[in-house]
Structure 1
Amino acid sequence: MVEIKSNAASVEFRGVTKIYGKSKVPAVNDISLLIETGKLVTLLGPSGCGKTTTLRMIAGLEFATQGKILIGDRDVTRLPATERDVSMVFQSYALFPHMTVRENVEYGLKFSGFTRKETTDKARAGLELVGLVDYGDRLPSQLSGGQQQRVAVARALVLEPQVLLFDEPLSNLDAKLRRHVREEIREIQQKLGLTVVYVTHDQEEALAVSDRIVVMNNAIIAQEGTPRELYDQPANAFVADFIGEANIFDCEVESVDNGRAKVRLGPLRLDLPAGSHKTGPAKIAARPRRILVRDAQSAGTMPGRLLKVTYVGSHLEFMIDTELGPVFAVSPEVDTPFAAGQAVGVALPERGPVLISA
């Protein structure tokens, strides 16, 4: 029985810059990045940050103005897309409407030197992998959006590329289907050990599927790390606010000793990991779920008044007026007696707030 195999290879950017035409503003500015073999790495960021340009340079659809791009040990910087062992799954699926599902999956194989039997067998294996083996005779118009996306994935997989690229693959699907298809993509990637580079602007999607996330902003890499590292230890206010929601507060680092910082945050005194911070002005990022709303008389809290309490089923959302400005907090305690207009105490537990650059 024919199986889809992995020919996974690493991807490396060395000081890569991309400038379009006569523009003096780089779309990608001097980025260096290593994507390890067999990992799923997501390029995440707002529109215009450079993530899609980076993906297209891996594919050979754009060429670097400066720097070097390697796939495995091979320098592909100046190679066209046809000479790179890369497959891409587009946002629009890009299926041929007049071809059946099977013919769409077979299309690339016909130009890759396979016999008719090998082409048929590989296409079947690809459709089995995405759970559509019984849909081979249908046209794309007879499939749901999620099924069409899975056909596009199968068409890319059967070519057994060194690198598989996804460009906003789930943006045309509804929320429930997005969750289902992203789980399928992740399962296939892990099962085959594929090297995948995945572009999205959806933070939840990136956190759910990635081994590592590269957050881009204004053509540079703002921070790179595992989903948990980026969520728990954002390097700056942009990353803190882009990867999930965060309250950003001005604070003062009063002293640093043995890797710990004594921090003054309004009336609160906090003991936090110092990282690379020294004494002086800084900022604190605090996730809404890690801010505690207590009775007004509770010790170690900052005085506040509830502006709004919103019940959203699984949790309560609080908007609190404090001397530091408005604070957004989330609590799973849906039966809490707190109500709008009530005086409360706001606490930041030891595990939660993070020092970031001012």
Structure 2
Amino acid sequence: MSLQSKAAPVRFESVTKMFGKDVVAVDNIDLHVDAGKLVTLLGPSGCGKTTTLRMIAGLEMATSGKITIGDRDVTKLPATDRDVSMVFQSYALFPHMSVLENVKYGLTFSGFGKDEARSRALHGLDLVGLKGFDNRLPSELSGGQQQRVAVARALVLEPQVLLFDEPLSNLDAKLRRQVREDIRAIQQDLGLTVVYVTHDQEEALAVSDEIVVMRNAAIAQIGTPRQLYDAPNDRFVADFIGEANLLACQITSVDGEMASIEIEGYRHTLSSRGMSEGPATVAIRPSRLVIGIEQGIVATVAKATYVGVRMEYTLTGAFGQVFAVHDDVDAPLEPGTEVQMGFAEKGPVLLPE
């Protein structure tokens, strides 16, 4: 069973989805998903990500615009006529059927003979690491194993596009990490086109070739995980992709592509991102704050929390409040301690207004 050759790109051209006359669920978006890539739609509840996924599946119809899968216009096609498979949050397994019967279920409606359907279903279980589980019932499996059965059931249909709607939300933290690694490995091994919806930033960073950050029914920014983490377009993206401390600063000089900024006498040089001298905002990740430097920004430890592998600190000062993390768990700073903080050489980024 070869799925690699069937992977197809997905394209949205000026797509809008309205519910009734007043509710804009998706607002005039353009999106291109390359064949064989895993693209994640990420954003808070109500941002339009699930509606976008459902429009690819044909479970919602676009109000205007054009959707293509491969070179075929699917804008008005029902779900049954689109070559896509969807893995739901709830798994949607039949409790009275064996694992093999669950995986075979879609194949029996797709014109495959009994033997061919069985062969494909067994191969699908092998792909997701469940060889030998074919006669078990879903109730005899862990949550992670049930999720893999749902993935196998979608895979055996050899879809051009595989869709995931919050696939890990029912799993505990340890299982989530394992199953997301499984999904990513299967996607890469088979060269599948995958569109994946989540509101979990860490999950998106871990599995994606590209992330589409959505806000208020529109696309806020598209980029690789590293691009979005290191160079967010604005405050929303900076704060939504991982945690970010947003601090007011002054751009004191600009020299080509580099700018010098100042916060309470502390100076730092970073990319100017096309900005000019004057007041600005800098975003700095908790791990890129350096505590205990000379001639830094004066701060007080307001809160210290031990979380096993690191210390987490809330620091306050004239600048407001920031969140910092530190690897030294053996000599933690006590609340009330005055410190001086600065920025790691790489990491701080100016945010265009």
Bin of the TM-score, shorter chain as denominator length:
over 0.9
Aligned partner of 1:336 in structure 2 is 331
Superposition map of 1:275-314 within 5 A: 275-294=273-292, 298-299=294-295, 301-314=296-309
Q: In structure 2, the residue corresponding to 1:241 is in which secondary structure?
A: helix
Q: How far is 1:21 from its partner?
A: 1.4
Matched, 1:9 2:14: no
Equivalent position of 1:163 in the other structure: 161
- CA–CA distance in structure 2, aligned partners of residues 328 and 38 of structure 1: 38
Contact residue 305 and residue 312 of structure 2 kept, 8 A: yes
Q: TM-score w.r.t. structure 1 length?
A: 0.95
Contact 2:100/2:135 (8 A) holds in 1 = yes
Q: Does 1:193 align with 2:188?
A: no
Query: 2 CA distance for matches of 1:252 and 1:28?
Result: 37
Q: CA deviation at 1:63?
A: 0.9
Counterpart selection for 2:212 from 214, 222, 225? 214
Amino acid at match of 1:152: A
User: CA separation in 1, counterparts of 2:54 and 2:3?
Assistant: 25
Other-structure match for 1:175: 173
Contact 1:289 1:330 in 2 (8 A): yes
Asked if residue 355 in structure 1 is aligned to residue 350 in structure 2, the reply is: yes
How far 1:116 moved relative to its partner?
Answer: 1.6
SS at 1:95's partner residue?
coil
Q: Deviations over 1:29-53 (max 9, x none)?
A: 1111110000001101110010000
- Farther off after superposition, 33-42 or 231-240: 231-240
* Counterpart amino acid of residue 206 in structure 2: A
Residue 287 of structure 2 contacts residue 325 of structure 2 at CA under 8 Å; is this kept in 1?
yes
Match of 1:129 among 124, 127, 130: 127
Aligned mates of 1:73, 1:307 — CA distance in 2: 58
Identical columns (%):
63
Question: Are positions 1:346 and 2:341 aligned together?
Answer: yes
Counterpart residue number, 1:256: 254
> Are positions 1:237 and 2:243 aligned together?
no
Corresponding residue for residue 137 of structure 2: 139
Matched residues in 2 for 1:49 and 1:107: separation? 33
TM value normalised by structure 2: 0.97
- Deviation of 1:143 after TM superposition, in Å, equals 1.5
Q: Which residue of 1 aligns with 2:322?
A: 327
C-alpha distance in structure 2 between counterparts of 1:325 and 1:206, whole Å: 30
Whole-Å Cα distance in 1 between the matches of residues 274 and 190 of structure 2? 39
Report Cα offsets for 1:105-146 as digits up to 9, x if no partner: 111111212122111110110011112221111221221111
Counterparts of 1:232 and 1:285, CA distance in 2: 10
Q: Deviations over 1:80-124 (max 9, x none)?
A: 101100000000001112221111111111121212211111011
Mapped to 1, the partners of 2:138 and 2:114 lie a distance apart of 22
1:18 aligns with 2:13: no
Quote the offset at 1:304 in angstroms: 1.4
Amino acid at match of 1:163: V
Letter of the structure 2 residue corresponding to residue 11 of structure 1:
V
- 3-state SS of paired residue (1:27): strand
Q: Give distance in 1, aligned partners of 2:202 and 2:344.
A: 24
Q: Is the 8 A contact 2:273 2:352 kept in 1?
A: no
- Check the 8 A contact 1:4/1:122 in 2, yes or no: no
Per-residue deviation at 1:282?
2.0
Counterpart in the other structure of 2:151: 153
